[in-house]
Amino acid sequence: MRSGLVYLEGMSESIQSSGRSWQRSASEDLWDRTLSQIATKMGRLAYLARLKNPETDKYEHHGLAAVFGDEAAEDALRRSHIEVLEEMLNMSILDQKDDVDRYLEGLPQSARRLLANWDKSKGYEAILPSATSAAQKELFDGNLGLIIKHLKVEFADGEQHPDS
């Protein structure tokens, strides 16, 4: 067997070395190389939402598609988007608030301005996967509404993000 990288389009990546082989799925690759590098669930939701083409409702990631094929890449992105939402919704409201707070800290724009926009327009709904159930959307909206109100009070009191 030759050492090197072999691509099995639409299936997985196989690395063969010293007679041993391991396979990596598109989902594993996405999580190991990309999503695990994003510190917050809110950040992961936003990242995955940006990969969805609004005209086709398909996820597009050139690098993942080049290795695993379009179908496997799109499936991995779609499933991961839903998985991240479910992980976030399974967190306590306090942990969700901390996650959103950490997400806002990492953004280049004003957290106060973004919170005001979210509070007014519910713009955060754009990061939800298309397959979000009505119950998940209701829970997400309710939790984010509470989190936004709480963070706006904190920011007004100057407790956090004084430069935002």
Q: What is the pLDDT of residues 66-102, one digit of tens each?
A: 999 999 999 999 999 999 999 999 999 999 999 999 9
Joined together, the tokens standing for residue 125 give 């709904």
Q: Return d(Cα 59, Cα 103) in angstroms, integer.
A: 22
Mean pLDDT estimate for the chain? 85
Q: pTM of this prediction?
A: 0.80
Instruction: Specify whether the CB–CB gap between 69 and 12 falls below 8 A.
Output: no
Which of 157, 160, 163 lies closest to 98, judged by CA? Answer: 160
The order of strands in the sheet holding 4-8 is 4-8, 12-17, 20-25
Q: Return d(Cα 85, Cα 31) in angstroms, integer.
A: 14
Read off the pLDDT of each residue in 105-133 and give the average, rounded to a whole number.
Answer: 90
Tell me, what's the pLDDT at 14?
Answer: 45
